[in-house]
Amino acid sequence: MKKRLGIFAAVVIATGLTLTGCSSSNSTESASASCAKEDLATIESGLLTIATGEPAYYPWIIDDAPETGEGFEGAVAYAVATQLGYSNDEVKWVRTTFDSAVTPGEKNFDFNLQQFSITADRANAVDFSTPYYTAPQAIVSFKGSKIDGKSSIADLKDAKLGAAVGTTSLDAIEAQIGISPSVFNDNAAGVSALKNKQIDGLVVDLPTAFYLSGVEVENGIIVGQLPSTGSGDQFGLLMTKASPITSCVSGAVDAIIADGTLATITDTWLAVGAGAPVLKP
């Protein structure tokens, strides 16, 4: 009796698994032809869900409050939303980590902006809009550190540099400087290590470098900026792969470039000038 029960249970479980295994795949949506607000396939209809990082640093977002629209990326986000036909009340903000946004998979936002550089590998996993800014990498340090006053990359060979995981800053350390870096989950951890003098320098994009050296790090300095590698320095709005709204969002960015809105925003928030010398090889 018990033996038969065992056989019966095994057969039932196996057939059950075979049947559930034959599930149909999800059908993909076709891209909408029109970019009118009613046709836009946002995740919540009638609302535009925009994501950024936590915390969001100056000058990209002021006071970690993107709803105010202050800060370069805050202003760009609202400019794109207006171009797409959304009023300021119809914009919803969410926060994501840098790493989780770049990985493939479904997203909980329509587009995400937190200084994402456009790279070929990332473009395989997510969609990018037209670039809205170009920024090189720079090294933040503190006065009296091992790399204070260095002017060439060769002088950095025995320094301890840090960067956040999954960023082009990390790639820059390994590719352009050629040393093995300290890798952190995010820039906040890297800044803690820099303040504790556990690393000699932190590699981030140039505007963030100005903020960190001016405000966050005591006696902070910018050692210099790394020579541009071309495509790796352009920031784009990030959307899920094959998103139906990519072409419309790109079109919106093109529009605000064409009519000068983006130039005004850049001058307002990123008038940092050429304060950081380019490091020699």
Instruction: Please report whether residue 31 would count as binding another protein according to CB under 8 A.
Output: no
Give the one residue of 195, 227, 266, 272 binding another protein; rule: CB under 8 A: 195
Give the one residue of 53, 69, 71, 162 binding another protein; rule: CB under 8 A: 162
Give the one residue of 87, 88, 152, 185 binding another protein; rule: CB under 8 A: 185
Rounded CA gap, 240 and 233, in Å? 21
Shortest distance, position 69 Cβ to another protein, whole Å = 31
Shortest distance, position 47 Cβ to another protein, whole Å = 29
Strands (E), 132-274: 133-134, 137-142, 161-164, 182-184, 201-205, 220-225, 234-235, 238-240
Write the CB contacts of 148 (distance below 8 Å, at least 6 apart in sequence). Answer: 141, 142, 221, 223
Instruction: Please report whether residue 3 would count as binding another protein according to CB under 8 A.
Output: yes
Residues 71-130 that bind another protein (CB under 8 A): 99, 102-104, 121, 124-125
Based on CB atoms, which residue is closest to another protein, 6 or 46?
6
Based on CB atoms, which residue is closest to another protein, 87 or 180?
180
Alpha helices in 132-172 (DSSP H): 168-172
Instruction: Please report whether residue 157 would count as binding another protein according to CB under 8 A.
Output: no
Based on CB atoms, which residue is closest to another protein, 62 or 164?
164
Instruction: Please report whether residue 242 would count as binding another protein according to CB under 8 A.
Output: no
Instruction: Please report whether residue 190 would count as binding another protein according to CB under 8 A.
Output: yes
Based on CB atoms, which residue is closest to another protein, 15 or 264?
15
* Cβ atoms of residues 272 and 208 within 8 Å: no
Residue with tokens 């002021």: 62
Instruction: Please report whether residue 180 would count as binding another protein according to CB under 8 A.
Output: yes
Instruction: Using alpha carbons, select from 68, 182, 138, 163 the residue that is nearest to residue 278.
Output: 138
Shortest distance, position 46 Cβ to another protein, whole Å = 32
- Amino acid identity of residue 247, one-letter, is S
Based on CB atoms, which residue is closest to another protein, 9 or 36?
9
Interaction site with another protein (CB under 8 A): 3, 6-7, 10-11, 13-15, 17-18, 20-23, 25, 99, 102-104, 121, 124-125, 162, 165-166, 170-171, 180, 182-185, 189-190, 192-193, 195-199
